[in-house]
Structure 1
Amino acid sequence: MTWSQPVDPLHNLVLSALIAVIPIVFIFWVLIIKKVKGYKASLMGLAVALLIAVLIYRMPVKLALLSTVHGALYGIFPICWIVITVIFLFNITLKSGQFEIIKHSMAAITPDRRLQALLIAFSFGAFLEGTAGFGAPVAITAALLAGLGFDAFYAAGICLIANTAPVAFGSIGIPITVASQVSGIPELVLSQMIGRTLPLLSLALPFYLVILIAGFRRTMEVLPAILVSGISFAVLQWSCSNYLGPGLPDIIAGIGSIVCLTAFLKYWKPRRVWRFQGEEGPAAEKMTYSTAQVLRAWSPFLLLTVIIIAWGLPPVRRLLDAASFKFAVPGIDQVIRDYKNNLLPHVFNFNFLSAAGTAALVSALLALPLAGLTFKEGMKLFADTLRQLKYPILTIAAILAFAYIVNDSGITITIANALAGTGFLYPFFAPVLGWLGVFITGSDTSSNALFGKLQYATAGSIGVSPVVTVAANSSGGVVGKMISPQSIAVATAAVGLIGKEARLFRFTVKHSLFMLFFIALLTFAQAYYLKWTVPSMPEKAVTTAPSLLPSKERSASAVGE
């Protein structure tokens, strides 16, 4: 026996969409207005979503509960697994005292907090996004900045904001690969289109970050360094995305901007070193360490970088994936029919060896002797890390359960169809759909899988190039990452601000909306006025592209099945 998702449960798409957005608006309300802690907000939002799924969408209670469990499992593995192992790695450097050397080695490049933020939050974070993704970049960079002496709140906030421009090309380009698979548009074409949008954001982001940290006047003091960081990153991101494809832009742009800025700082220094108000001067920075000591201190992160890159190599991944096992979630796999009458798979993939979290764990275990810790001390530290992260784990499990229930019930498709009905204005709303998908799921990959085909079909129905709208789903999604409850939970866990999720959400949401508005305007212009920026699709791709969405009549008949 199967159950079909209703696209329009109230037989009025506008009214159905207003009901569908209630769980999302509720989470915004409890975080922004009521200032509820993250794990409580996630659980409350999940409860509201369950009620609407069962009462309005008539989703069977059994299916709703199984969807919730499936989402929670995915939240625990692989998402929480990444957070746990990365924070464990960071705690090793703290426990061993090696982080003090890391702090001084960073100060040797520049003691200026503005420039440290560019090197770590922006450039190093982009590199990590390109190799690992799934929360690791924010966790590592926020922890590094907080350890260096940054205010914990600003460390988390600026790392969330910095982790925007690289997201579409994260994890060796997986979001674009998925968008290509569901839409039928070649990977390189999507990479080129996104690579003609996000570099504009990358160019402005270093300037934006420094203003948030130090204000406009202090930002202008380091404008040459900001330009070196932003221009080098944007040029490399544009070049790689347009000529090499989606796999390498973050890695090459991240490394390239670090090299360019570090080299520039050897010949140029700001007139005054800027530090946080009340922060002690850099007296300790005169301490000197040998190259061997610095390499030993950085070894956990160097190991992490090397192992994650190795983990991502196709032959290695295939070998590690051979040890994984998948199982269909009983009672819900192939039971729900989506709006296109396709049965939805519900399979849990326990790829315990190939997961990025396992790469981080291997790095941490190898780092223990290098940091001077015994295996027994390491296991105690791992247990302490689990206790430290109990609330973030609950938050992430709850928000992924929320994501699964709103997807499986049809709530997200109702919202998507309502936006698709905006006609001529749709290109403006195409990035909003991607933004919404990432807010719900915490993943640009998941958002592209969810809405990629709908973006393609809607563009065809209004005479706009589908390349623009499918790419906009990913480009808009990247600025939703900073407000995703999953990402916020990771950031607060990394800097020891567990329970302050609402404050961090209020800080990032205005920046997210501002950047979304910019991308929406740019997408609208690309659709109608800047068509020369849109790459053309090969004829073969056009002929094999997915068909348009069902008509309203077809959707209505599917609801009644």
Structure 2
Amino acid sequence: MSFGILALLALLPIISVFGLIVLFRWPATRAMPIAYLITCFLAFTVWKVPFSQLAAASIDGLLTAASILYIILGAILLLNLQQESGAIFSIRKSMFLISPDRRAQAIIIAFLFGSFIEGSAGFGTPAAVAAPLLVAIGFPAMAAVMVSLIIQSTCVSFGAVGTPILIGVNAGLSGQVEVVNYLSAHNLDFASYLNSIGGKVAIIHGITGTLIPIILVIMMTRFFGQKRSWKEGLSILPFALFAGLCFTVPYTLTGVFLGPEFPSLVGSLLGLLIVVPLAKIGFLMPRKVWDFPAKETWPQDWIGQEIEERHDSES
């Protein structure tokens, strides 16, 4: 069997997930088991993987999924506690006291707070926590999800207290012959090598991550503003770049000098401590406050069917 056919077969589980979820709009609860069965079938018939190895890999996958769900559970539990206790309304009031500008709110909640959640919990929890917070303070559901997913970039490499580097990269490189030979030739131990990788990742992502706030803002004003304007997003460029630097500078320094555990945590925490009080006094903020159009004019796809149905049932 040719290499091209093998590559295509290897991609088939991923293609099936994309097709079933994106094209056919199947829920993940139906699409993922089918992708799993396709994977097992290909592994058993094409690559001749023993059944015992398939079973062991499946059990390992279940345990890994359970650990991820356990982490996400804490984030969702925190959100539900905020909702039930009424803290969510206090947060909404506090955000308007900091800045009524939706662009600044998106940067503070989605980018800085979302990065903090990613640095501590990881595994996509910013979308599970920051997006509902944005909806609670008046963002369209689609806009809240969009900005919460855009920030899943710079902070992810050091999410869950450095898990991608300490576990992901570690598992991929540890014991590899090429890596062992490289370390021997340069008289390095593996821990130092891993830290150097984290430092280089921090530098690259620190440069690009500075632009994430302005990217999420111009996307928001372009697709969810009344004027559908890029310029309304660019008008907050000084504040967005400042907020980005407040995150990426300590993020990069932490990754280079302290290791991969804390860049996202330190960067976001210091960023919040600097940006929030300065936003409150209008530092680098444009004079004109930007907001979404009136809620009654929002298209249905901004709100989402489930939220709309819930709103109707409550009213």
- TM-score, normalised to structure 1, is 0.45
Distance 1:129 1:225 in 2: 23
The yes-or-no answer on 1:156 pairing with 2:136 is no
1:144-543 maps to which residues of 2 (within 5 A)?
144-178=133-167, 179-180=169-170, 182=174, 183=179, 184=190, 186-215=193-222, 216-265=230-279, 266-268=281-283, 269-279=285-295
The 1:89/1:237 distance shift into structure 2, 3 A limit, reads closer
Identical residues among aligned pairs (%): 29
CA contact (8 A) 1:79 1:135 kept: no
The answer to whether the Cα contact below 8 Å between 1:128 and 1:137 also exists between their aligned partners in 2 is: yes
Which residue number in structure 2 is paired with residue 134 of structure 1? 123
Contact kept, 8 Å, 2:72 with 2:121, in 1: the verdict is no
Alpha-carbon deviation of 1:173?
Answer: 2.2
**Quick one: distance in 1 between partners of 2:5 and 2:31?**
25
Task: Mark the CA change 1:267 to 1:212 in structure 2 (over 3 Å): closer, same or farther.
Answer: closer
- Residue 62 of structure 1, CA deviation: 5.1
Q: How far does residue 153 in structure 1 lie from its aligned partner after superposition? A: 2.5
1:224 Cα deviation (Å)? 1.7
Q: Tell me, in whole angstroms, the C-alpha distance in 1 between the residues paired with 2:145 and 2:306.
A: 9
Distance 2:14 2:155 in 1: 25
| Structure 2 unaligned spans of 5+ | 180-189, 223-229, 297-303, 308-315
- d(CA) in 2 for partners of 1:45 and 1:496? 27
Q: How has the CA–CA distance of structure 1 residues 82 and 33 changed in structure 2, closer, same or farther, with 3 Å as cutoff?
A: same
**Structure 1 residue ranges without an equivalent (≥5):** 1-9, 281-494, 499-561
* Paired amino acid for 2:42: I
The DSSP-based 3-state class of the residue aligned with 2:154 is coil
Distance (Å, rounded) in 2 between the aligned partners of 1:188 and 1:68: 31
1:33: how far off? 2.3
Aligned partner of 1:39 among 17, 29, 45:
29
Show CA shifts across 1:273-317 (max 9, x none): 22222238xxxxxxxxxxxxxxxxxxxxxxxxxxxxxxxxxxxxx
Q: Which amino acid aligns with 2:147?
A: I
Post-superposition Cα deviations, 1:181-240, rounded to whole Å, max 9, x if no partner, equal 625362331122112211122111111111121121111221121011112222222222
Matched-pair contact (CA < 8 Å) for 1:125–1:141: yes
TM-aligned CA distance change 1:85 to 1:170, over 3 Å: closer
Does the Cα contact within 8 Å between 1:221 and 1:271 map onto a contact in 2?
no
| Distance change (3 Å), C-alpha of 1:233 and 1:143 | same
Distance of aligned partners of 1:247 and 1:88 in 2 relative to their CA distance in 1, 3 Å threshold: closer
Q: What letter matches 1:260 in structure 2?
A: I
Distance in 1 between residues matched to 2:289 and 2:129, nearest whole Å: 25
Instruction: Report the Cα distance in structure 1 between the residues aligned to 2:81 and 2:305, rounded to whole angstroms.
Output: 16
Q: Is the 8 Å Cα contact of residues 129 and 136 (structure 1) preserved in structure 2?
A: yes
1:115 maps to 104
Q: Higher helix proportion, which one?
A: 2
TM-score, normalised to structure 2, is 0.78
- When the two chains are superposed, the root-mean-square deviation of aligned CA atoms in Å is 2.4
Q: Deviations over 1:117-168 (max 9, x none)?
A: 1111111121222222233333221222122222222222321220210111
* Distance in structure 1 (CA, Å) of the matches to 2:112 and 2:282: 20
Aligned-pair distance for 1:65? 4.3
| Alignment length (residue pairs) | 273
| More RCO (CA 8 Å, sep 6+) | 1
Q: Relative to structure 1, is the Cα distance of residues 130 and 263 closer, same or farther in structure 2, using a 3 angstrom cutoff? A: same
* Cα 1:69–1:118 shift into 2, 3 Å: same
Indicate if the aligned counterparts of 1:152 and 1:497 stay in contact, CA closer than 8 A: no
**Structure 1 CA distance, aligned partners of 2:118 and 2:83?**
23
Equivalent residue, structure 2, for 1:64:
54
Decide whether aligned partners of structure 1 residues 208 and 98 sit closer, same or farther in structure 2, where only a CA change above 3 A counts. same
Partners of 1:234 and 1:84 in 2: CA distance = 28
